[in-house]
């Protein structure tokens, strides 16, 4: 009845063909039911409720209630794996790490960087000198007699992977032997090309201390901005296997050379612009399970244990997700969840995609109202777009996009109504009138005697009713207000029309104070003066600088000209305009009485002046 005396170790190698070692506990009857705690050997015959009926233990192996394992394991694939399993408080945690024992040639710019093909693509120096006598080698101790070289490099294959053995020598790969040479076409603001960042890594072991030197021989910086060429020098002490990493700038020129003054083994050499490819040292997979979490991930680490890349699957009661992440924190994520978040407290299901680029293949649908077809076209019931739309053809709201234009569809008779927008032409209007702007809006039927970039046509019937404002057609109606001064049209060329109609004059009443005359706003000035203590008034016309200022110019051009009509209103006393040239080119003070008018030309061609063109008394 003593539990401490209920233990048994059974070693069986009988004729049943099931050799085994059993560890039993709780043996207190004439049978072993429920007592097997561990078996090493043939597992056939074990019945355990811990496993499904079709997955019962069988064959040669290990069966136990608990297992702690450590050390090196070799899989059926021949891969060496360092494995650790841990089970604590309902949580299963398994981490598997494999040392990197191979590289892929496509990761490196260097050819034969794994040394799998011996010294192919590689060069070295310091060869042995053999002595001859009479044109024949001198043999001693079963081989040719000669001097041992001061330095030597060769590829050896007596380890797990091929490696370069370097003794006070070097290995070099010519640029023309590179597997691939990147092209650097990016330029700076001065037009000089910009070098790129490259990464170098290799596994090494120093047998005899020496100085390591990495360089690009005969590199050429011509055409590139100034930079420090990729290279490195340092003293390496004797030690075990280590990982060497280096980054720097390179412009795709020169021969790669690695030299060492002592004795060193080098393997797994990678030279690349991809940091993860060059620095990857260790792969790691992770499986973690608890009552609320299942996580499976795989990661790549550098020699210092820093993660370079990681991909995984996380499953929780709240939702699950598939992710990928690099060492900068950049992440791609596919997540699914059911959350309580709408305004009525209802649960809402969610699918979340997070990535810089999302690529969907095949037919994509959403509730039957939105489709992305395999040819890239979209079918949707409604849509609201904000931002840029790039389209070569189509129809939107009755407008057609196609053949380099946007506009309403033209009818079979070639009617030009509606809207039409081309890259060099714009037209809007209808059958009664239209506006056109573009390179040339005059039809070829006009004989191309002249061109125009703007055209306004108004042919609306409007002849019924009494003559007046309501029955007038306008080609252009301009309403300008709100400025210190307002202009309807500003042109540096002549204005051509059958007639110009001026319907507004400036009323200018002179008193004891100052007055202002602005010829840029009015060219008809109606003057009035009736001070009781004076019989007349003298008026000084604006100076050249004042006229220029009113026309918005710092100075008047030589060909400046303007015509202004002055008239003295009825009931006014006499008004004298000072400094006017008469018909005889004499400068005079021109006196005007009530009812008089004078038309004056303002020019600068013969010096700034006011010149009488016509007058009436």
* The predicted structure's pLDDT at residue 6: 81
Choice among 88-92, 320-324, 464-468, 590-594 with the minimum mean pLDDT: 88-92
Domain 105-279: CATH architecture, name and number where available: Sandwich (2.60)
Is the distance from CB of 103 to CB of 115 less than 8 angstroms?
no
Q: Give alpha helix (H) positions in 489-543.
A: none
pLDDT band at 170 (very low <50, low <70, confident <90, very high): very high
- Rounded-to-5 percentages of helix, strand, coil across the chain: 5, 45, 50
For 203-253, the pLDDT digits (tens) are: 999 999 999 999 999 999 999 999 999 999 999 999 998 989 898 899 999
* pLDDT value of position 614: 94
Nearest alpha-carbon partner for 163 in 110, 195, 124, 116: 116
CA atoms of 307 and 276, how far apart (whole Å): 10
* Domains in the chain: boundaries: 3-97, 105-279, 290-366, 394-458, 506-616
Residue 394's H or E segment, with its range, is strand 394-396
| Whole-angstrom distance, CA of residue 584 vs CA of residue 602 | 16
Structure tokens at 167: 């003794």
Q: Do domains 105-279 and 506-616 have the same CATH topology?
A: yes
Identify the weakest region by mean pLDDT among 114-118, 128-132, 155-159, 169-173. Answer: 128-132
In whole angstroms, how far apart are CA 270 and each of 97, 102, 113, 243, 405? 21, 11, 7, 11, 55
CATH 2.60.120 fits 506-616, yes or no: yes
Q: 172 CB contacts (<8 Å, ≥6 apart)?
A: 122, 123, 124, 217, 255, 256, 257, 258
pLDDT band at 380 (very low <50, low <70, confident <90, very high): confident
Task: Give the separation between CA 199 and CA 232, rounded to whole angstroms.
Answer: 12
* pLDDT tens per residue across span 409-448: 654 444 545 777 887 888 888 778 889 888 888 877 766 6
| Per-residue confidence (pLDDT) for residue 467, from 0 to 100 | 57
Contacts of 419 (CB under 8 A, 6+ apart): 399, 406, 407, 408, 427, 428
Specify the pairing of strand 196-208 against strand 255-272.
Answer: antiparallel
pLDDT tens digits along 121-140: 999 975 555 556 666 666 66
Q: How confident is the model at residue 392 (pLDDT cuts 50, 70, 90)?
A: confident
Tell me which range, 165-174, 304-313, 391-400, 412-421, is most confidently predicted by mean pLDDT.
Answer: 165-174
Which CA distances in Å does 478 have to 104, 467, 474, 554?
Answer: 75, 22, 10, 27
pTM of the model: 0.37
How does strand 152-156 pair with strand 129-130?
Answer: unpaired
**Quick one: tokens of 368?**
């039957």
Question: pLDDT digit string (tens) for 54-75?
Answer: 888 988 999 998 887 766 665 5
For residues 568 and 576, what is the distance between their CA atoms, to the nearest angstrom? 10
In angstroms, rounded to a whole number, what is the distance separating the alpha carbons of residues 264 and 220?
A: 29
| Residues with Cβ within 8 Å of residue 112, at least 6 apart in sequence | 105, 120, 121, 122
Q: What is the pLDDT of residue 302?
A: 56
Q: Which residues contact 344 (CB under 8 A, 6 or more apart)?
A: none
483, two tokens: 């400025």
Average pLDDT over all residues of the chain: 81
């Amino acid at each position: 009845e003593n539990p401490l005396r209920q233990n048994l170790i059974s070693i069986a190698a009988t004729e049943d063909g099931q050799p085994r070692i059993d560890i039993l506990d709780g043996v207190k009857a004439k049978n072993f039911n429920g007592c097997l705690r561990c078996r090493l050997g043939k597992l056939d015959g074990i019945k355990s409720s811990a496993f499904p009926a079709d997955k019962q233990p069988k064959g040669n192996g290990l069966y136990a209630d608990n297992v702690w394992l450590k050390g090196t394991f070799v899989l059926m694939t021949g891969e060496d794996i360092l494995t650790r399993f841990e089970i604590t408080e309902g949580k299963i945690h398994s981490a598997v790490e494999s040392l990197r024992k191979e590289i892929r040639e496509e990761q490196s710019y260097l050819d034969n960087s794994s040394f799998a093909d011996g010294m192919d693509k590689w060069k070295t120096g310091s060869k042995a000198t053999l002595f001859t006598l009479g044109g024949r080698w001198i043999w001693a101790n079963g081989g040719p007699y000669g001097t041992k070289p001061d330095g030597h490099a060769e590829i050896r294959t007596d380890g797990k992977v091929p490696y370069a053995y370097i003794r006070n020598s070097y290995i070099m790969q010519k640029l023309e032997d590179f597997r691939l040479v990147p092209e650097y076409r990016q330029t700076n603001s001065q037009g000089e090309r910009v070098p790129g960042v490259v990464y170098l890594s290799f596994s090494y072991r120093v047998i005899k201390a020496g100085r390591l030197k990495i360089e690009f021989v005969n590199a050429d910086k011509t055409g590139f901005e100034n930079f420090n060429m990729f290279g490195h020098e340092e003293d390496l002490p004797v030690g075990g296997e280590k990982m060497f990493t280096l980054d720097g700038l390179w412009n795709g020129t020169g021969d790669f050379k690695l030299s060492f003054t002592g004795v060193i083994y080098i393997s797994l050499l990678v030279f690349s612009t991809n940091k993860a490819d060059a620095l990857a040292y260790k792969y790691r997979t992770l499986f973690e399970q608890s009552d609320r979490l299942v996580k499976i991930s795989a990661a790549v680490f550098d020699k210092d244990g820093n993660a370079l890349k990681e991909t995984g699957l996380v499953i929780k009661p709240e939702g699950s997700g598939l992710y990928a992440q690099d060492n900068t924190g950049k992440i791609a994520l596919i997540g699914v969840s059911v959350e309580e978040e709408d305004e009525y407290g209802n649960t809402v299901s969610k699918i979340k995609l997070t990535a810089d680029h999302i690529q969907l293949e095949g037919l994509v649908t959403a509730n039957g109202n939105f489709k992305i077809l395999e040819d890239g076209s979209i079918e949707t019931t409604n849509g609201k777009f904000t931002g840029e739309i790039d389209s070569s053809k189509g129809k939107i709201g009755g407008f057609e996009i196609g053949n380099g234009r946007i506009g309403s569809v033209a009818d079979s008779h070639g009617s030009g109504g509606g809207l039409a927008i081309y890259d060099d032409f714009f037209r809007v209007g209808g059958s009664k009138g239209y506006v056109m702007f573009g390179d040339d809006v005059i039809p070829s039927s006009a004989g191309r005697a002249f061109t125009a970039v703007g055209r306004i046509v108004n042919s609306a019937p409007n002849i019924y009713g009494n003559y007046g404002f309501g029955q007038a057609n306008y080609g252009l109606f301009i309403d300008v207000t709100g400025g210190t001064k307002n202009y309807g049209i500003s042109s540096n060329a002549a204005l051509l029309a059958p007639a110009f109609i001026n319907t507004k004059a400036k009323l200018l009443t002179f008193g004891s104070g100052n007055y202002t005359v602005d010829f840029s706003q009015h060219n008809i000035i109606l003057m009035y003066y009736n001070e009781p203590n004076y019989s007349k008034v003298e008026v000084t016309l604006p100076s050249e600088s004042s006229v220029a200022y009113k026309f918005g110019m710092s100075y008047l051009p030589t060909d400046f000209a303007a015509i202004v009509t002055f008239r003295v209103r009825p009931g006014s006393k006499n008004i004298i305009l000072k400094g006017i040239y008469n018909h005889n080119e004499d400068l005079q003070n021109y006196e005007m009485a009530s009812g008089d008018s004078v038309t004056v030309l303002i020019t600068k061609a013969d010096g700034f002046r006011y010149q009488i063109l016509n007058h009436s008394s």
